[in-house]
Amino acid sequence: MNKYDELYRGKAKSVYFTDDPDLLILHFRNDTSAFDGKKIEQLDRKGMVNNKFNGFIMEKLAAAGIPTHFESLLSDEESVVLKLEMIPVECVVRNIAAGSICKRLGVEEGIDLTPPTFEFFLKDDARGDPMINEYHIESFGWAKPEHVAKMKEITFAVNDVLKALFLTGNMLLVDYKLEFGLHKGQVVLGDEFTPDGCRLWDVDTREKLDKDRFRQGLGDVVESYELVGHRLGLNFD
Ligand code: ADP
Ligand code: UDP
């Protein structure tokens, strides 16, 4: 497959056109960012670990009937994906309170959320990804109501599949962010599912195994991502 011009360079991944107009190449770089791009570092092996981790999770989701953009791994740091018309909205499900919800609502980290809660954020780094609701999405034309309903349905379906999967590795899926796009009019899961975009805690010790290690300067960031993979039976060599 030929790699053509760069379509987009994000904070952690670059996206390239290919010889097939329906397919793109996602390059997972070692760049790691937090706080809307205010903290950025290069972490050795992270691109490779996240690329392989994402491929593994996307295949699990596809096997459970979830429509995803993932086609195949192309190299250590690259995957082939369906080209989507991205919807500029982030879908977040939270099983346990952590991160921004604790600051926003003054709740303690670690509280169980039953039922899990759901939030939309506008993908807009310059404005710090503000929280929005379904009315905003419709009024500003970011997505049609039937697509919003589908995004919610798929995001909750992902929760059922991945909570169970991570539990097999003795991990709690605390929260996660998903992005969607349209392909031939259908809502499809895009972007990535890696420890960069979710929170994972050890069941017994509640040790953080995700990007909070980077945000909070806890160290062993990529080592923890690899440990998460190993606990699920994934090898990175
Ligand atoms: P950010 O844009 O937040 O800095 P990344 O560095 O992860 O994030 O960049 C990847 C970009 O590629 C994101 O803007 C994402 O919306 C976009 N993207 C992900 N999957 C697809 C896809 N299948 N088709 C088109 N764009 C995609
Ligand atoms: N998240 C993400 N990208 C973003 C914002 C959030 O991947 O731009 C993920 C984050 O890693 C966490 C979940 O979405 O797993 C909820 O994030 P939160 O709103 O708590 O924001 P944070 O405090 O992590 O910035």
Domains contained in the chain, CATH given? 3-82 (3.30.200.20), 85-221 (3.30.470.20)
Please give the Cα distance from 77 to 31 (Å, whole number): 12
DSSP for 156-191 reads: HHHHHHHHHHHHHTTEEEEEEEEEEEEETTEEEEES
Quote the ligand 2 centre to 177 CA distance (angstroms).
Answer: 6
Residue 119 pLDDT exceeds 90: yes
Quote the ligand 2 centre to 134 CA distance (angstroms).
Answer: 19
Quote the ligand 1 centre to 122 CA distance (angstroms).
Answer: 14
Quote the ligand 1 centre to 10 CA distance (angstroms).
Answer: 6
Torsion of CA 156, 154, 63, 161, to 10 degrees: -10
Quote the ligand 2 centre to 38 CA distance (angstroms).
Answer: 14
pLDDT digit string, tens, across residues 124-166? 999 999 999 999 999 999 999 999 999 999 999 999 999 999 9
Three-state SS string over 61-119 comes to HHHCCCCECEEEECCCCEEEEECCEEEEEEEEEEEECCCHHHHHHCCCCCCEEEEEEEE
Grade residue 37 by pLDDT with cuts at 50, 70 and 90. Answer: confident
* pTM value surpassing 0.85: yes
Q: Which of 17, 85, 86, 177 to mutate to test the pocket of ligand 1 (most atoms within 8 A of CB)?
A: 86
Ligand nearest to the CA of 69: 1
Ligand 2 binding site (Cβ under 6 Å of any ligand atom) = 90, 92, 99-101, 129, 175-177, 197-199, 211
Spatial CB neighbours of 202, under 8 Å, sequence gap ≥ 6: 170, 171, 172, 209
Greatest alpha-carbon pair distance for the chain in Å reads 50
Mean pLDDT of 36-47: 94
Atom number, ligand 2, closest to the C-alpha of residue 36: 8
Instruction: Tell me which DSSP letter residue 54 carries.
Output: H
Residue among 24, 72, 81 at smallest CA distance from 52: 72
* Residue 65 backbone dihedrals phi, psi, to 5 degrees: 90, 10
Residue 221 pLDDT exceeds 90: yes
